[in-house]
Amino acid sequence: MTLLVTGGTGFVMSVVARAWLERDPAARAVILDRSRLDRMAERHFAPVRDRLTVLTGDICDPAQWSGRLDEHDITAIVHGATVTPISRGSAGEAKRQPEADDPARIIDVNLMGTVRLLEWARGKPGLRRFLYVSSGSVYRHHGPDWAGEPLPEDGYVAPLTLYGISKFASEMVVNRYADLFGLSALSVRLASVYGPMDRATGSRNFRHVPNRVAHMALAGDVIRPNSLEPVGDYVHSADVAQAIIALLSAERLRYRHYNIGSGVTATIGDVIGWARERVPGLQVEVTPDERANIVQDVTLKDGMWGAYDLARIERDTDWRPRPGREAFLDYMDWIAANESAANGEGT
């Protein structure tokens, strides 16, 4: 089988592409991305590079890629190409609205890019499944209505940002194409992803709390969060990749939308506590002012910021996420083993 992964030179999608190739020595993958493989991606794909084809092109311009994709027997698609204009993390970054820099580009890539790919895909009779990579940003800031319950896929959808709006609109377009043209199609809504290959790219320059804590701890920096209490549903990129592959491989899918997360929340204090297991001398100073280097809103504890319900994916596949501590420590070990060779590139 040959998997097409759009956005595959970046963060999560590069992990998906490699996981796909590692699971089956006969499998092949094609990446379509506007960027070529950087040095970190070249090292990442080295063990499977002979079965990987990388095509460069703008997802919004099929003339750049449709003919070249026709040369490959694509049997499944993971559409992850996106622009992610999120700015949070430090006090200075929290004041920015990066969506204002180029709002039309966000809509073009995230929505119309999806339409362009669906137009190509609907003419491929050998295509077994189309998986759209959406985001928890489609959800509202609060919910569910029962305290302590994880957020389900039904209801609670109220995106506020252009990113979230474009993601939800794309989900609906995917659903309609599935009905019109008989596609087996679904969308996955990712919680807060961190892990291997998490680095700045041309489409994404944002790091969730586990990434920031892990790098600061390993670098010997003092961590200055504005509070230890803010939470997130943090999920490792390798776990996300396995979840996506499980959904691609499932005999039957009962739903159009699936959450992928850890299913529980961790506080900033939890993540720092895990980091101290690798760096016992880690220094932490709660700093609720402009000097804070990790900033999150202490009032955001549920809705898109809380735990994601995993009942659907657990019902339709045998995938389960790893415990948060185990996944985070695995990531710290990966950083120590892999990113030092990059001489600071992409971290």
Instruction: Write out pLDDT tens, residues 232-246.
Output: 999 999 999 999 999
Mean pLDDT, residues 60-75 = 97
Instruction: Write out pLDDT tens, residues 180-219.
Output: 999 999 999 999 999 999 987 765 667 899 999 999 999 9
The proportion of the chain whose per-residue pLDDT surpasses 70, expressed as a percent, equals 93
| Cβ-defined contacts of 19-24 (< 8 Å, 24+) | 19/238, 19/241, 19/242, 19/245, 20/241, 20/245, 21/48, 21/51, 21/52, 22/47, 22/48, 23/245
Q: Contact, 296 vs 226, CB < 8 A?
A: yes
pLDDT over 90 at 93, yes or no: no
Contacts of 263 (CB under 8 A, 6+ apart): 150, 233, 307, 308, 309, 310, 321
pLDDT over 60 at 23, yes or no: yes
Instruction: Write out pLDDT tens, residues 256-294.
Output: 999 999 999 999 999 999 999 999 999 999 998 889 999
**94 in helix, strand or coil?**
helix
CATH annotation of 2-342: 3.40.50.720
Predicted TM-score (pTM) of the model is 0.94
| Residue among 39, 14, 36 at smallest CA distance from 202 | 36
Mean pLDDT, residues 83-106 = 72
Alpha carbon distance 272, 267 (integer Å): 9
Q: Which residues pair with 259 in a beta bridge?
A: 189
Between 113-117, 146-150, 164-168, 311-315, the lowest mean confidence (pLDDT) is in: 146-150
Q: Which residues pair with 78 in a beta bridge?
A: 5, 131
Better-scored residue on pLDDT, 4 or 100: 4
Q: Count CB atoms within 10 A of the CB of residue 178.
A: 17
Task: Please report which residue ranges of the chain form alpha helices under DSSP H.
Answer: 12-23, 39-45, 66-69, 91-94, 103-107, 113-121, 162-181, 209-219, 237-249, 268-276, 311-316, 324-338
| Residue among 84, 83, 72, 85 at smallest CA distance from 31 | 72
Instruction: Write out pLDDT tens, residues 132-177.
Output: 999 999 999 999 988 889 999 999 999 999 999 999 999 999 999 9
**256 DSSP 8-state letter:** S
| Residue among 265, 137, 262, 282 at smallest CA distance from 214 | 282
Q: Provide the token pair at 340.
A: 């030092």
Whole-number pLDDT of residue 205: 64
Q: Contact, 196 vs 337, CB < 8 A?
A: no
Q: What is the dihedral of CA 298, 301, 304, 309, to 10 degrees?
A: 160
pLDDT over 60 at 220, yes or no: yes
Quote the mean pLDDT of the chain.
93
